[in-house]
Amino acid sequence: MNAELIIALPEITLVVLACMVLIIEAFNNDPQHTLTYWTAQASLLITLVLVFINCPGEATIVFNGGFISDAMSSILKAFMCGISFIVFLYSYEYLKEHQSLKGEYFVLGLFAVLGMMIMASAASLLSVYLGLELLSLSLYAMVAMQRDSESASEAAMKYFILGALASGMLLYGISMIYGLTGHLQLAEIAQAVASDSINRSFLVFGMIFLIIGMAFKLGAAPFHMWVPDVYQGAPTCVTLFISTAPKLAAFAMGIRLLVDGLLPLVSDWQSILMVLAVLSMGVGNVIAIAQTNIKRMLAYSTIAHVGFLFLGFIAGTEAGFSGSMFYIISYALMSMGAFGMIILLGRNGFEAEMLDDFKGLSERSPWFAFVMLCIMFSMAGVPPFLGFWSKWFVLKEVVSSGYVSLAAIAVVFSIIGAYYYLRIVKLMYFDKAESMTAIKSSKQMRMVLSVNGMAILLLGLAPNALMALCIAALAG
């Protein structure tokens, strides 16, 4: 087999398997869609195994400079597949319980994962855009999947229109950078920018449009308009998917564009990211306090977390980028657990999406109240949970780079943000339950959600392995 095809074997395998799942779904008459579900899960596991087998000793660029296989891409792809596997499990339980099971969810999910993997291995502006559009188109369709739901249709329309606008801006930035440098490959763009032979003002102008596209995908303020409406309006299983693995892809996009392609302009994009970080932390944490819908609250929480994610980029060092990678992986695990809890407490005809639905959970289920406590404490950055170390990692690097005032602002907003997370803990442990309805879910769901919650605690108690993995991924 051609050596270049072997490098891209996980992606090639996933696209073949996704098409196979699509064919199975087209001829499947099973209302439970069992074969579609298990084939989709098997596809993710096979791809995960191939990612491990294909993990390179050193960075390898193939397809005329359009595709790179390195440590960072392999680690991110492994997490994308692993997280998507658990998300599919939660989603299957949700769709089955709410009698809205559609095999299209898993088909679109697989194509979205393929888009994420392409973004993780993008070595040219075109492959970044190709991966982003494949991911985005899949997500638009997933949000609109419940055609009878007005809120889902409205959310999908907002997401599509704003997403198209952001894609257009990104494409405009790509065309400017290409026009100025004459290259699409990120390594060659970096060399051209470093040569100082190109007007810096024009380069910065093109770079701004690239950052806008990246900020939109991450949900950073002031490009966050879609996040609360999509998180609240979409089915919970779709919100769960959007809030987890695609964030890893958006981080990879940031590394590829800003670090691999535009590192010589680091002083320029640092100042832009500082503004985005402060705005995101401020808007996210302050507005989240006023929310009564937990999905909407977690949407504003996402915006705030993106602000912290940018702190690692602002540091401008390898350790800072590693801190951002650690942060986004930690966030994906925490978000997966939080939305998993919403799915667990819901039932047919009832979505547990209001904060009051968590009242007295410690009486109904002491164990899952403790799991939610771990998730909320971690999101708030309380030691020794995983979220504390993710915040500590990026703050340490920001201070080391001399941005002490920025770190102080981040700490203040983190303290403000702790209020709305701890409010859920207060509702669970100190308020009376409005209903003592038994929690109905499968053993699979309970076990995986328990493992999800305990992973946040255990990784917080021993964070060094994950930190070392992230540092190794960005080394060199």
The per-residue pLDDT for range 11-47, each reduced to its tens digit, is 999 999 999 999 999 888 888 888 999 999 999 999 9
* Average pLDDT rounded to a whole number, residues 424-433: 90
**Amino acid 349: pLDDT:** 67
Backbone region of residue 350 per phi and psi (left: phi > 0; alpha: psi in -120 to 50; beta: other values): beta
Query: In this model, does residue 438 exceed pLDDT 80?
Result: no
* Average pLDDT rounded to a whole number, residues 86-109: 90
Delimit the domains of the chain by residue range: 3-474
The residue among 100 and 163 whose pLDDT is bigger is 163
> pTM for the complete prediction?
0.95
Cα dihedral 194, 213, 90, 232 sign: positive
Pair 108, 142: CB distance under 8 Å? yes
Give me the percent of the chain exceeding a pLDDT of 70. 99
**Amino acid 196: pLDDT:** 79
Pair 337, 371: CB distance under 8 Å? yes
**Amino acid 157: pLDDT:** 92
Query: In this model, does residue 347 exceed pLDDT 80?
Result: no
**Amino acid 1: pLDDT:** 54
Span 363-422, pLDDT tens digits:
888 999 999 999 999 999 999 999 999 999 999 999 999 999 999 999 999 999 999 999
Phi (first) and psi of residue 427, to 5 degrees: -60, -40
Span 179-236, pLDDT tens digits:
999 999 999 999 999 887 888 889 999 999 999 989 998 889 899 989 999 999 999 9
For 39, the token pair is 């084939």
* pLDDT tier at 352, thresholds 50, 70, 90: confident
Contacts of 444 (CB under 8 A, 6+ apart): 89, 93
Measured between alpha carbons, how far is 103 from 107 in angstroms, rounded to an integer? 7
Residue 198's nearest CA partner among 217, 219, 179 is 179
Cα-Cα-Cα-Cα dihedral of 19, 23, 29, 31, to 10°? Answer: 10
* pLDDT tier at 5, thresholds 50, 70, 90: confident
* Average pLDDT rounded to a whole number, residues 426-451: 86
